[in-house]
């Protein structure tokens, strides 16, 4: 039962972190800027962007752990900040689907979209864990 509660606490923490990340972004301005430029993104392109941003965020988090392991905590922080930016970009891309569905448009089910969402959530989780690893290495 204790592990279950810890998992729930971690999920809540991740959700709160994600929510605060969204609040820090000017999502509406980003979305409107994309519309003003005349960019009409396809569903497939948006999905691929989510996967790309998520993969980059995860890679940066891995690099941050490796930097912390070597004692380079400034570099680790820089890499985690970059990972945050990549995750934020992925969340902006994800917003495309949220806005479509919220406006009443039904989206076709897509395994590729599920795959992209999986990548994004894994990147968020991995980045959170990387922050914890950096803190552990700092205490050594």
Q: Are 60 and 79 in contact (CB under 8 A)?
A: yes
Among 2, 20, 33, 115, the one annotated catalytic: 115
> How far does Cα 48 stand from its chain's mean position?
14
Token readout for 41 is 């993104």
* DSSP label of 1: -
Q: What angle do CA 104, 108, 111 make, to 5 degrees?
A: 135
Active site annotation includes 17? no
Q: How far is residue 89 from each of residues 10, 69, 123, measured CA to CA in Å?
A: 23, 27, 12
Give the span between the Cα atoms of 106 and 94, in whole angstroms: 15
Residues with catalytic function: 115
């Amino acid at each position: 039962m204790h592990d279950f509660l810890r998992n729930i606490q971690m999920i809540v923490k991740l959700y709160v972190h994600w929510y605060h990340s969204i609040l820090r972004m000017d999502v509406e301005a980003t979305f409107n800027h994309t519309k003003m430029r005349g960019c009409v993104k396809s569903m497939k392109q948006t999905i691929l962007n989510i996967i790309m941003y998520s993969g980059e965020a995860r890679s940066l988090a891995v690099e941050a752990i490796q930097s912390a392991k070597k004692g380079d905590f400034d570099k680790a922080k820089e890499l985690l900040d970059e990972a945050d930016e990549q995750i934020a970009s992925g969340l902006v891309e994800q917003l495309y689907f949220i806005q479509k569905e919220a406006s009443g448009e039904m989206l076709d089910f897509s395994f590729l979209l599920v795959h992209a969402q999986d990548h994004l959530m894994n990147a968020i989780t991995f980045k959170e864990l990387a922050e914890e690893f950096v803190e552990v290495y700092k205490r050594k």
